[in-house]
Structure 1
Amino acid sequence: MIDFVKNIKWIFVLYSLAALLAMVGIGLAVGLRSILGIFLSVLLLIVIMGMGFKKKKEMREAGLL
């Protein structure tokens, strides 16, 4: 169990939580019928996911994954 915790890449946990919050924002905006909120939440989700994939590529190329 302790080995599992040592191997966690915490930056990816943070990216996934941020993406989850953006998805929750989409749901809230739909519930509130806010077109602007939906648009901004989707845009935020795309940016966060892009940053996560970029970081993963950089780490893979550096041999850290």
Structure 2
Amino acid sequence: MKNIKWIFVLYSILALLSMAGIGVAVGLRSGLGILSAVLLLCLIMGMGFKKKKEMREAGIL
């Protein structure tokens, strides 16, 4: 692994923070917080997979 793809590092950190947000929302017993954190996690993961597909098709990965 020679080159670090910083966009994927960013996506993984954002996904990690979203997962932590789920834990915080569960601790606070906030249904809306749980739902919003799960939706945010799905959005971030989807964006990461989409970017990976685009880069693979462009021959960058």
How high is the TM-score relative to the length of structure 2? 0.97
Distance 2:19 2:42 in 1: 10
Distance 1:42 1:49 in 2: 11
- Aligned match of 2:44: 48
- Aligned match of 1:37: 33
Write out per-residue CA displacement over residues 15-52 of structure 1, whole angstroms, 9 at most, x where no aligned residue: 00000000000000000000000000000000000000
How high is the TM-score relative to the length of structure 1? 0.91
**5+ unaligned residues in a row in structure 2: which ranges?**
none
Equivalent residues, number: 61
Identity rate of aligned residues, in percent?
79
Distance 1:64 1:31 in 2: 41
Larger radius of gyration: 1
